[in-house]
Structure 1
């Protein structure tokens, strides 16, 4: 070993000391490994498409930089000595790391690796996203999703502020000055106690209008939620005051309030079947433009959008295949 200042790192068999500032290029490392595996520099050079004389010079320069011989020269080939075996373990590890790095870079470039932050309104999370995220995980197992549930106004603000890469919100809630695409749609229904006068009226065959529903106490969601905004619009269209006795933070809490007789609620039909589907409740359909909601997907401008997010956007905006 030379007396140059050196750095130390561990090897499986020996402690190897490299001169500080030493440069190891990948071609030389691959040549060294191939020479060790082939038992000769000529065969290794052919494997790597190098001129044998140039390959021999690279091996000599490597040994000179290390300050120690790595091979035992034999009449018909080359065999590693103890130092060479120690270096071989490191060379393989380094080349493996480089190969993994190249694979990861290609994965990022192709959009199938990374972390994507999605903000979504509660209705979208409950009705659509569990299935859609499962499809994303199957297609892109190395893309990790950080999901934030909030109301529709909060979703748009999160994307505008860069907190989320992608947002899913109810389209009529707010104007969005961001790229956006259609996502899904749902239908709302009025949920009451089974013994509520509106439920009894519906059982007689009468169609419940929003005006009739709004004459009763209503349970709303938090301010900025699509359901609360729609209730306000329905009241405005009917020319009636909105009798919102209480706001809650989730559809589960709304169902508990309805079951206790505190008021009636407005829910997506799919959600109503999930969390208010027993005999205590009645689901009453109603007509009108506001009965059907349209959800959109917005995202940060393409110039600042990672490839992983772009890949997920394409998948999310493709409807799930209908099972046969």
Structure 2
């Protein structure tokens, strides 16, 4: 068993087929298939069910995949540590972020980081806060940018508050409140709303504020992205609540301060274990000095 075979298994699992996996790994399909078959003989179990229509993991493959990923990550980490010992930062930096992140200019930050550390392969994944916390915790992400309710501290990760703010009401330009400077939740009670899916952190920020104000609201449109929320609002189909610093970037809508607005905190998270050299370098870009495992920070 070797790392290359593990890479091939991961590629087939993620790409859903041998042809796309071979293209991703830049090898001919026959070579990739031969190596996976050789690994299966060594393990004494099939890792994939192969049919003319699809390829999927067997129970043995499901058990093998997480361990293969961990081995590949460990090998990548070892290479990065050796390079760092000689003064070179290289390896992988995997970042996850909510799409409404506003506390930092993430694209600009990534550009400066790449210019400083060109040997680091940067990946960026958008997602919801609860998923990003889990992915940083299990090591599939190095860094996460979250949006949480005030007072919420993510468990199992190191974290730092970046920004505290409120949500604002977002309406169409011809809405009855479009020319108002501010409003309150009670004034929005009879509106049709667009929001994130029920049960998500992004949705709970608004739900808890309306519940605290004893105001009922009708969320008729549930979507997954703030851009889609904004488009629904532009069409006059609904009103919405979005983070102030993000909403002010939107065109074709009006924003109103809300006197009893839901609060929101953006937080930066990273692994509680010692960050990889690329992750530690990224944290220093944000003026965060990673502390040794077990150290208690004042803000946590």
* TM-score category, normalised to shorter length: 0.5 to 0.7
Indicate the SS of the match to 2:208. Answer: helix
The answer as to 2:98 corresponding to 1:121 is yes
Cα distance in structure 2, aligned partners of 1:104 and 1:300: 16
RMSD: 2.8
Superposition deviation, residue 103 in structure 1: 11
Cα distance in structure 1, aligned partners of 2:208 and 2:169: 15
- The total of aligned residue pairs comes to 208
**Cα-to-partner distance string for 1:30-88 (whole Å, 9 max, x where unaligned):** xxxxxxxxxxxxxxxxxxxxxxxxxxxxxxxxxxxxxxxxxxxxxxxxxxxxxxxxxxx
**Cα-to-partner distance string for 1:227-258 (whole Å, 9 max, x where unaligned):** 31111111111112231111112122112211
Superposition deviation, residue 119 in structure 1: 1.3
**Cα-to-partner distance string for 1:197-220 (whole Å, 9 max, x where unaligned):** 2224x1xx6x30122224311100
Change (3 A) 1:103 1:186: closer
**What residue number does 2:29 align with?**
none
**What residue number does 2:134 align with?**
157
**What residue number does 1:315 align with?**
285
Change (3 A) 1:208 1:317: farther
Unaligned runs of at least 5 residues, structure 2: 1-78, 289-300
Unaligned runs of at least 5 residues, structure 1: 1-101, 319-324
TM-score (norm 1): 0.57
Q: Is the Cα contact below 8 Å between 2:185 and 2:215 reproduced in 1?
A: no
**What residue number does 1:294 align with?**
265
Cα distance in structure 1, aligned partners of 2:102 and 2:113: 14
Cα distance in structure 1, aligned partners of 2:170 and 2:102: 20
**What residue number does 2:168 align with?**
189
Which is helix-richer, 1 or 2? Answer: 1
Q: Is the Cα contact below 8 Å between 1:159 and 1:299 reproduced in 2?
A: yes
Cα distance in structure 2, aligned partners of 1:242 and 1:287: 17
Cα distance in structure 2, aligned partners of 1:266 and 1:140: 38
Change (3 A) 1:253 1:236: same
Cα distance in structure 1, aligned partners of 2:121 and 2:159: 22
Cα distance in structure 1, aligned partners of 2:218 and 2:142: 37
Q: Is the Cα contact below 8 Å between 1:112 and 1:307 reproduced in 2?
A: yes
Cα distance in structure 1, aligned partners of 2:80 and 2:231: 51
Q: Is the Cα contact below 8 Å between 2:92 and 2:120 reproduced in 1?
A: yes
TM-score (norm 2): 0.61
Cα distance in structure 2, aligned partners of 1:109 and 1:255: 49
Superposition deviation, residue 126 in structure 1: 9.6
Cα distance in structure 1, aligned partners of 2:124 and 2:260: 32
Cα distance in structure 2, aligned partners of 1:233 and 1:317: 33
**What residue number does 1:5 align with?**
none
Moved more, 156-165 or 172-181: 172-181
Structure whose CA Rg is larger: 1
